[in-house]
């Protein structure tokens, strides 16, 4: 049987080379049921031919090599829970690139992602996550806060790292005011951006015909929709529009780098939400709130990390890390409160 497997492997290597199964669009999975079936089948064959050397070898290999490996991989998959890495010394921690090690060649470190909400520099809530990007964590963070404290803040103010379609849709349903920047909010005010006729955002659009016009004035027709799903399961639809006659166009070197006709990607929902958010951010209230954001939350992070030197967790494991940060947050709030009430001597030793 092992011989058969090896032969099949060789045949497959000859046919598919280095291409992996994902590239070939196939999905192969091994589960407990299939493995049990295979082990049973092998056992039955061995019972019928107890002296068969090949079967004996296959059985030995299965029990001593493949089954322990399968168990090991299964355990690792359970530990990973969809993550692509975890630390050997703390399996709950995920490898992440640190802000202070932002060099592309720097090594990621085992870490947790702390999301924190503040009001007047008091920590109103925190959540600890096992993935690096902030965008997909906003909803989980807000839902946790609502579940634990039963209250929902009036307005949500956050930086551009949280400005996604999924977050905007969620916030619009649940909150009165959305003051979450999107990545182009600051840049789109600059003259360089406004005057750039090649930017997708600056192309003319005919909503009735659903056609964009490229910088040379040629129509860009709708050619299809790409569907994507975020890690939270939210589905987005990205529309594609294609230009005609890029070959020989005098604007080509400035317009795009593709060898073919230019294709642009547009998400109508995102455009709609951005318009709405821009209106909020440009209002007097929005300007006040967005100015207050770094003073409010960044200073708390700075205070904890730099002034109090809390730069790494001392405990391991998600549950313990949650408790450790709870102590940090409580200490921060008490100190702040003590300062406000001018009771510094009483709380100074916390």
Positions that interact with ligand SF4 (CB under 6 A): 214-216, 218, 243, 245-246, 249, 251-252, 255, 262
Q: Which is nearer to ligand SF4, 223 or 327 (CB)?
A: 223
Cα-trace Rg, the chain: 28
Nearer to ligand SF4 by C-beta: 216 or 270? 216
Rounded CA gap, 210 and 202, in Å? 16
Q: Which helix (H) or strand (E) holds 196?
A: none
Measured from the CB of residue 200, what is the shortest distance to ligand SF4 in angstroms?
11
Tokens 């492997």 -> residue: 9
- For ligand SF4, the closer CB: 265 or 292: 265
Shortest reach from residue 204's CB to ligand SF4, in Å: 12
Q: For ligand SF4, which is the closer residue by CB, 256 or 332?
A: 256
Minimum CB distance to ligand SF4, residue 237 (Å): 23
Strands (E), the chain: 94-96, 109-111, 113-119, 122-129, 155-158, 177-180, 204-206, 211-213, 219-229, 235-242, 263-266
Structure tokens at 275: 């318009």
Question: In the bound complex, what is the minimum distance in angstroms from residue 215's beta carbon to ligand SF4?
Answer: 4
Whose Cβ is closer to ligand SF4: residue 197's or residue 328's? 197
- Give min distance, CB of 281 to ligand SF4, in A: 31
Within 10 A of 186 (CB to CB), how many other CB atoms are there?
Answer: 12
Identify the sign of the CA torsion 139, 145, 148, 153.
Answer: negative
> Least distance to ligand SF4 from the beta carbon of 218, Å?
5
Query: What single string gives the DSSP state of each residue in 130-149?
Result: SSS-SGGGHHHHHHHHHHHH
Separation of alpha carbons 252 and 299, rounded Å: 46
Residue 42 or 197: the one with the smaller Cβ distance to ligand SF4 is 197
């Amino acid at each position: 049987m092992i011989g058969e497997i090896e032969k099949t492997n060789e045949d497959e290597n000859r046919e598919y080379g280095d291409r992996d199964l994902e590239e070939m669009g196939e999905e192969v999975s091994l589960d407990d049921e299939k493995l049990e079936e295979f082990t049973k089948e092998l056992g039955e064959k061995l019972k019928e031919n107890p002296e068969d050397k090949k079967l004996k070898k296959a059985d030995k290999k299965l029990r001593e090599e493949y089954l322990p490996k399968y168990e090991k991989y299964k355990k690792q998959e359970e530990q990973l829970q969809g993550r692509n890495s975890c630390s050997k010394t703390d399996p709950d921690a995920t490898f992440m690139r640190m802000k202070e090690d932002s060099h592309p060649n720097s090594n990621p470190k085992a870490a947790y992602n702390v999301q924190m909400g503040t009001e007047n520099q008091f920590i109103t809530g925190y959540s600890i996550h096992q993935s690096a990007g902030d965008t997909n964590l906003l909803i989980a963070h807000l839902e946790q806060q609502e579940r634990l404290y039963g209250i929902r803040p009036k307005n949500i103010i956050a930086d551009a790292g949280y400005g996604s379609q999924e977050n905007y849709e969620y916030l619009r349903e649940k909150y009165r005011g959305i003051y979450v920047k999107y990545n182009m909010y600051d840049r789109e005010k600059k003259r360089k951006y406004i005057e750039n006729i090649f930017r997708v955002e600056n192309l003319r659009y005919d909503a009735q015909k659903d056609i964009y016009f490229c910088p040379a004035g040629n129509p860009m027709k709708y050619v299809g929709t790409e569907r994507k799903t975020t890690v939270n399961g939210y589905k987005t639809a990205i529309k594609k529009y294609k230009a005609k006659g890029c070959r020989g166009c005098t604007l080509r070197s400035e317009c795009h780098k593709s060898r073919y006709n230019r294709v642009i990607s547009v998400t109508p929902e995102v455009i709609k939400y951005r318009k709405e958010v821009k209106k909020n951010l440009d209002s007097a209230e929005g300007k006040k709130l967005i100015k207050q954001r770094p003073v409010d939350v960044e200073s708390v992070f700075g205070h904890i990390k730099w002034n109090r030197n809390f730069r790494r967790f001392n405990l391991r494991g998600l549950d313990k890390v949650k408790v450790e940060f709870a102590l940090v947050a409580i200490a921060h709030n008490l100190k702040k409160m003590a300062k406000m009430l001018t009771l510094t001597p009483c709380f100074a030793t916390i």
